[in-house]
């Protein structure tokens, strides 16, 4: 069975075509199941859109008008069924499109896309303004254009449904949670679920206490115990928790009336600034890209160093709470663009934690592919702890599409 996994932006459509046939409980390497990958960018742009596809050793980039996501999907299917380079004989071989959907509020799980799912997503538009509207528009269009192709929404909140109530509830006035779904939902669920599954395989145990550090343009930590999420950093919206590349992270909402009064700006204007000019970009006043921040900090730029320090301190603060909540930690896993590639951040996060049994080997950290992973390791995986460390420290590249494909298969089954 072939599943097309879609990751949508307001003007983009990124996809992977995965084969989920056979026994998925066996020793399956997810990367071996990817038949094709591609992207369509600048959808709806007045200029020509960019279409990219990789099928095996074949890589091709083309330009064509793509006015909407329906045309983007058709372009994708045309690429996959190309007589010379495609991997499919017919588009009907695709069993479903699985979406890495963000926020469904009362619909937290994996569902066939129907009117109820779209309505639930629309209810949460204000909580996920950068994600939900483009997904709703694309799903609505694709239902009309491809009525016989099942669409499945795999919501990022589902993995966090197991978090205890005491760690999910805000201390809000009565009725806010019941009437308006105001609670700590958590996100990056597909990534953290993959880390839970893969770390259990690498550790050889399913009862491990794991802290999954998904660090990238958007970052979150999740405490995982017995394979389940028990605490996470993001709350009601993807804006909360750690500082993001250009989003504020945790912030006192009672500062907003003061800011409105003193700046003369509206609430919408201030929220827009917090969501686009805050985070690492706001502190450094240079960039939201950690690579730029690390480079500037190394050259002596004080504001970039402060941005890096704030980011690390917030990671360590939340990590400490998770260690307490689980009564210890067996493994810390770094994933995401920053987690996988920044030895600077990994070193700073693990600094001086020997008393907690967490000891990073700096040589392995600076060249983590030079560590000695087990024979069944996937590309980019490696352990970073010293021989005396009681806690294992890993780099594990995430694979959100694999999780979405398996969850989509579960709905179809």
Q: Using one digit for the tens of pLDDT, what is the confidence trace for 294-336?
A: 999 999 999 999 999 999 999 999 999 999 999 999 999 999 9
The Cα 178–Cα 170 span in angstroms is 12
Asked if residue 323 is part of any domain, the answer here is yes
Note whether 126 and 216 are same-domain residues.
no
pTM metric for this prediction: 0.93
Asked if residue 148 is part of any domain, the answer here is yes
Query: Pick from 98, 122, 155: which residue ends a domain?
Result: 155
Q: Which residue is listed with tokens 């603060």?
A: 317
The helix or strand, by DSSP H or E, that contains position 83, with its residue range, turns out to be none
Q: How much is the pLDDT for 406?
A: 95
The Cα 224–Cα 226 span in angstroms is 7
Note whether 97 and 217 are same-domain residues.
no
Instruction: Answer whether residue 25 shows pLDDT above 90.
Output: no
Share of the chain above pLDDT 70, in %: 96
Instruction: Answer whether residue 42 shows pLDDT above 90.
Output: no
**Which residue range forms the structural domain that includes residue 105?**
2-155
Q: How much is the pLDDT for 374?
A: 63
Note whether 322 and 222 are same-domain residues.
yes
**Structural domain count of the chain:** 2
- Which domain CATH number covers 32? 3.30.420.40
- 246 has binding-site annotation: no
Instruction: Answer whether residue 376 shows pLDDT above 70.
Output: no
Rounded to 5, what percent of the chain is helix, strand, coil?
40, 20, 40
8 Å CB contact between 102 and 130? no
Q: Which residue is listed with tokens 């919501």?
A: 155
Note whether 8 and 151 are same-domain residues.
yes
Note whether 127 and 228 are same-domain residues.
no
Strands 151-154 and 94-99: parallel
- 14 has binding-site annotation: yes
Note whether 148 and 252 are same-domain residues.
no
Asked if residue 242 is part of any domain, the answer here is yes
Structure confidence at residue 26 as a pLDDT band (50, 70, 90) = low
Strands 151-154 and 228-232: unpaired
The helix or strand, by DSSP H or E, that contains position 215, with its residue range, turns out to be none
8 Å CB contact between 124 and 104? yes
What would you report as the CA-atom Rg of the chain, rounded to the nearest whole angstrom? 22
DSSP code at position 377: P
Note whether 351 and 228 are same-domain residues.
yes
Note whether 268 and 355 are same-domain residues.
yes
Both tokens of 82, joined, read 């190309």
8 Å CB contact between 411 and 112? yes
- 376 has binding-site annotation: no
Note whether 145 and 237 are same-domain residues.
no
Asked if residue 224 is part of any domain, the answer here is yes
Strand partners, 225: 209, 228
The Cα 294–Cα 287 span in angstroms is 10
Per this entry, what is the length of the chain?
Answer: 413
Q: Average the pLDDT over each of 2-16, 103-117, 303-317 and give the range with the smallest value.
A: 2-16
Strand partners, 54: 37, 59
Q: For residue 302, give every residue at least 6 positions away whose Cβ sits within 8 Å of its Cβ, in sequence order, or none.
A: none
- 338 has binding-site annotation: yes
Share of the chain above pLDDT 90, in %: 82
Asked if residue 120 is part of any domain, the answer here is yes
Mean pLDDT over each residue of the chain, to the nearest integer: 93
Q: Which residue is listed with tokens 């399956």?
A: 28
Structure confidence at residue 398 as a pLDDT band (50, 70, 90) = very high
Structure confidence at residue 145 as a pLDDT band (50, 70, 90) = confident
Q: How much is the pLDDT for 413?
A: 87
For 230-255, give one letter per residue: b (16+ CB within 10 A) or e.
bbbbbbbbbbbbbbbbbbbbeeeeee
Q: What is the mean pLDDT of residues 168-178?
A: 97
Range list of β-strands (E), 107-265: 110-112, 151-154, 209-214, 220-225, 228-232
- 177 has binding-site annotation: no
- 86 has binding-site annotation: no
Both tokens of 125, joined, read 């538009």
- 235 has binding-site annotation: no
CA-based torsion, 186, 14, 198, 153: positive or negative:
positive
∠ Cα 321 323 329 (to 5°): 160
- 290 has binding-site annotation: yes
DSSP code at position 206: S
8 Å CB contact between 40 and 49? yes
Note whether 247 and 363 are same-domain residues.
yes
Asked if residue 91 is part of any domain, the answer here is yes
Note whether 256 and 318 are same-domain residues.
yes
Asked if residue 196 is part of any domain, the answer here is no
Asked if residue 35 is part of any domain, the answer here is yes
Note whether 121 and 264 are same-domain residues.
no
CA distances from 260 to 105, 127, 240 (A): 29, 21, 21
The Cα 362–Cα 293 span in angstroms is 21
- 340 has binding-site annotation: yes
């Amino acid at each position: 069975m072939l599943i097309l996994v879609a990751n949508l932006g307001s003007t983009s459509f990124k996809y992977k075509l995965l084969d989920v046939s056979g026994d998925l409980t066996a020793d399956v390497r997810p990367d071996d199941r990817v038949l094709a990958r591609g992207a369509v960018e600048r959808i709806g742009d007045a200029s020509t859109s960019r279409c990219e596809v990789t099928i095996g050793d074949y890589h091709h980039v083309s330009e064509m008008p793509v006015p909407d996501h329906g045309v983007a999907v058709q372009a994708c299917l045309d690429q996959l069924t190309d007589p010379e380079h495609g991997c499919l004989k017919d588009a009907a071989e695709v069993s479903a499109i699985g979406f890495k959907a963000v926020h469904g509020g009362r619909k937290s799980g994996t569902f066939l896309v129907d009117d109820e799912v779209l309505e639930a997503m629309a209810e949460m538009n204000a909580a996920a303004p950068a994600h939900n509207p483009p997904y709703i528009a694309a799903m609505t269009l694709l239902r009309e254009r491809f009525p016989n192709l099942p669409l499945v929404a795999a919501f990022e909140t589902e993995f966090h449904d197991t978090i205890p109530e005491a760690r999910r509830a805000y201390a809000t006035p009565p009725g806010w949670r019941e009437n308006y779904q105001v609670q700590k939902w958590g996100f990056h669920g597909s990534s953290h679920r993959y880390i839970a599954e893969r770390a259990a395989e690498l550790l050889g145990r399913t009862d491990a206490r794991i802290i999954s550090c998904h660090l990238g343009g958007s970052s979150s930590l999740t405490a995982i115990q017995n394979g389940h999420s028990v605490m996470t950093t993001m709350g009601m919206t993807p804006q909360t928790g750690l500082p993001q590349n250009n989003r504020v992270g945790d912030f006192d909402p009672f500062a907003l009336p003061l800011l409105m009064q003193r700046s003369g700006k509206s609430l919408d204007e201030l929220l827009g600034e917090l969501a686009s000019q805050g985070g690492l970009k706001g502190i450094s006043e240079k960039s939201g890209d950690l690579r730029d921040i690390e480079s500037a900090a190394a050259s002596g730029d004080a504001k970039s160093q402060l941005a890096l320090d704030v980011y690390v301190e917030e990671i360590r603060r939340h990590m400490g709470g998770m260690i307490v909540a689980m009564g210890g930690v067996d493994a810390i896993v770094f994933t995401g663009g920053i987690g996988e590639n920044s030895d600077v951040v990994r070193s700073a996060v693990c600094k001086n934690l020997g008393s907690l049994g967490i000891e990073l080997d700096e040589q392995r950290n600076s060249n983590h592919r030079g560590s000695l992973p087990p024979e069944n390791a996937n590309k980019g995986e490696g352990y970073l702890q010293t021989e005396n460390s009681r806690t294992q420290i890993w780099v594990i590249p995430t694979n959100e599409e694999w999780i979405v494909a398996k969850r989509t298969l579960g709905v179809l089954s």
